[in-house]
Amino acid sequence: MFVSVLLLGFCIFIILQLKPRRPRNFPPGPAALPFIGNMLSLSPDTPLRDMEQLRRTYGNIYSLYIGHRAAVVVSGTKALREALVNKAVDFAGRPQGMYGNAIVEDRGVILADYGHKWKQHRRLFLMTVRNFGLDKQSMDQRILGELQLTINNLEKNTGKSLKAQVMFHNIASNVICLVLFGKRFDYEDEFMKKYVAGFTEINKILNGPWSFLYDSFDWVRSFPLPFAKGFRIIEKLKIMTSSLINEHKETRVPGQPRDFVDCYLDELERVGDRSSFSPEELLMSCLNLHAAGTDTTSNTLLTAFLYLMTKPHIQERCQQEIDRVLKGKEVVAFEDRHNMPYVQAVVHESQRVADTVPLSVFHTTTRDAELMGFSIPEGTIVIPHLSSALSEEGQWKFPREFNPDNFLNHQGEFFKPDAFLPFSAGPRVCLGEGLARLELFLILVTLLRKFRFVWPEDAGEPDYERVFGLTVTPKPYHMKLELRATRGTSVRVV
């Protein structure tokens, strides 16, 4: 009996020793269990709801444990801007040694840690996007050309019930393919179907329990568990992407870039081994950027048209403004946004409500840092809870509903509140922000000018609940459309 009690006491002692301990002056949070940390504090299906509850309990800055690793959740506009903007360098790192890093082999611009390599690759991508569209008309025409192909298909299916997800995903995927590879793919192309399916599968694993297990326990990584499927898929995606890059090598003219791959190859030839550029980094950057540039835009469009159909008075007011501003013009231009305050408000309200990347991409502290009175050691994971700002009471007129007035002042002029952070902020702000803004405006205006979108009679009540993942998406739905009497002329495909 004595031996049993002694053994039990010893086991309890060991467990208590293994229990994570928060450093001095660290943000508060729920008690963490040995090994699994705060895994039980967050539901896999509704983690955002649980995080909001933790925020109400512990405040805008609180801590969690991902297995044995400490993480600080930063919520609210004031705290987010303090961390991401005012103390940007302190909070600009990326977590290393996690499943996401392993999948991309610690390569690519999105998950790269803060430093010289990240800065070089970010500069190159931004330069490419700027040179191929945001300061010129070429990207407008590429997007409008892609839209014309969609419109041609939609005109054949007016009055029918269509899957919205497929349409918007195809548009967004082809736009980023034009930026990266200078080419688009037919919507029924088997190559692109397999390419997209691969990303979808990896995203499921990254957002699931096996990814958490990989991040929490080093010793499980050598076992043939389901997370190994992600490594097999990424190898297939690398082979497919390599074939696109090899096409460029055969057809490119040095010094006359057509897209991101050409720009990268030019840079690689120019600097050689004296930089962080490499064929391996190019390959993974293309995979990174395609994934990031597709889901976020398509999910925002899905959100926009879900509300435009179910709130037809908003759709009608948009169309009235579009007709007035574009009267006599063949196609819309990005500059027309300055004369469309209501449409601008609808686009931004769609981004706010869509909240496609609610927890951003995780950061880490690059050195010992202080935030709102708390001490956060170097290397601590930082989770920017962007949702908390996008629906924060006191920051929005209507924080809990879809209402374009959130972005209109008393004179009906467009304005952006400080709490509008769908792309995050600071040096780690989304690389594709400019491209996404261009896409969303041109796509929404062009489609609303041509069609009226209608919620199908047999679709039942609309469901506004969202599905949580690496990116958040509305539940699948169908749409019907009718041709409008007032519409723009066809656009030549570029």
User: Any idea which residue has 């080093």 for tokens?
Assistant: 218
Give me the sheet containing 363-364, strands edge to edge: 61-66, 69-75, 381-385, 363-364
Closest-CA residue to 261 (of 392, 124, 134, 391): 124
What is the topology classification, in CATH, of domain 14-98+359-390? 3.30.43
The pLDDT tens digits of the residues spanning 353-384 come to 999 999 998 999 999 999 999 999 999 999 99
Number of H helices and E strands in the chain, helices first, is 16, 11
Q: How far apart are the first and last CA of the chain?
A: 84
pLDDT, tens digit, for every residue of 257-301? 888 898 888 888 887 666 788 889 899 999 988 888 888 899 999
Measured CA to CA, the distance from residue 375 to residue 381 in angstroms comes to 13
Q: Report which of 399, 400, 404 is spatially closest to residue 321, judged by C-alpha positions.
A: 404
Where are any strands of DSSP class E within 145-273?
162-163
Q: Residues 108-161: pLDDT tens digits?
A: 888 888 888 888 888 888 887 777 654 455 788 888 988 999 999 889 888 888
> In this model, does residue 13 exceed pLDDT 70?
no
DSSP H or E run through 300 = helix 279-310
Q: How far apart are CA 232 and CA 253, in angstroms?
A: 34
Strand 61-66 and strand 363-364: the pairing is unpaired
The CB density around residue 399, as the number of other CB atoms within 10 Å, is 15
Share of the chain above pLDDT 70, in %: 92
Distance in angstroms (rounded) separating the CA atoms of residues 254 and 269: 9
* Cα separations in angstroms, 3 against 6, 12, 13: 5, 14, 15
Q: How far apart are CA 128 and CA 278, in angstroms?
A: 17
Instruction: Specify the amino acid at residue 75.
Output: S
User: How many residues make up the chain in this entry?
Assistant: 494
Share of the chain above pLDDT 90, in %: 47
Q: Mean pLDDT, to the nearest integer, of 8-17? A: 40
Domain coordinates of the chain in residue numbers? 14-98+359-390
